Amino acid sequence: MTSTNQLMTLRMLSGAFIGGIAILTALMVVIAPDMVVPEPWVIAVLLGLVAAGAVLSLVLVGTLPAAPQGATLTELLSKVQAVHIMRLAVTEAPAIIAIVLMFLAEEPSWVTVAIAAVPTIVVMLALVFPHEGVLRRYEKALDAGGARTQFTDKLLGRVA
C-alpha cells in the first residue's frame, strides 16, 4: 500500500466518523423536528463535553509510543491508527450524548443535537482529521524517543 493510500485510509476513516455525526444530526431533524432550545444547563454540559473531548483528544496524542529507529511507515501507521481511532471516538462522544439528552428532554428537539454536533465536527476537522498539522503532532510523538521518522513527509509523499 502506497503512502497516499495509507493517508487516504486515515482520511476516509475520519470522514466516516465526521459524516456519521452529520447524518445522525440530519436524522434527528426528521425524528424530532420541533425547534425547541434546550435548557441552559444542557447547552453548558454539551459545550463542556465538546471542550473536554478536544482536550482529551490532544492528550491522547501523547500516549502514542515512541518509534524505534528504522521503523517502517506501515509499523508507524499501525501505532498511529489505534490512537487516531480513539481520538475520533472521544471527540464524537458529545454528539452521541446529545442524542441521548434530546430523547430525555420534555420536548425533544434536533436543536439539542445540533448544539453539540456542529462544534464537534469543527473540532474533529481542526484537531483530528489527518491534515499536515495533525500528522506533525503524531510525528512529534513518534520521534520522542530520538528516532527521525519523517512520518508526515512520507505520508504526504514528499519523501520516498
Please say whether the beta carbons of 98 and 112 come within 8 A: yes
DSSP 128: I
Predicted local confidence at residue 12, as pLDDT: 97
Tell me how far apart the alpha carbons of residues 105 and 43 are, in angstroms, rounded to a whole number.
Answer: 12
Q: How confident is the model at residue 83 (pLDDT cuts 50, 70, 90)?
A: very high
Kindly give the residue spans of alpha helices, DSSP state H, lying in the chain: 3-31, 40-61, 73-104, 110-123, 132-142, 151-155
How large a percentage of the chain has pLDDT more than 70? 98
* Spacing of C-alpha 64 from chain mean position: 15
Cell of 154: 512520507
Domain boundaries, the chain: 3-156
Tell me how far apart the alpha carbons of residues 153 and 148 are, in angstroms, rounded to a whole number.
Answer: 11
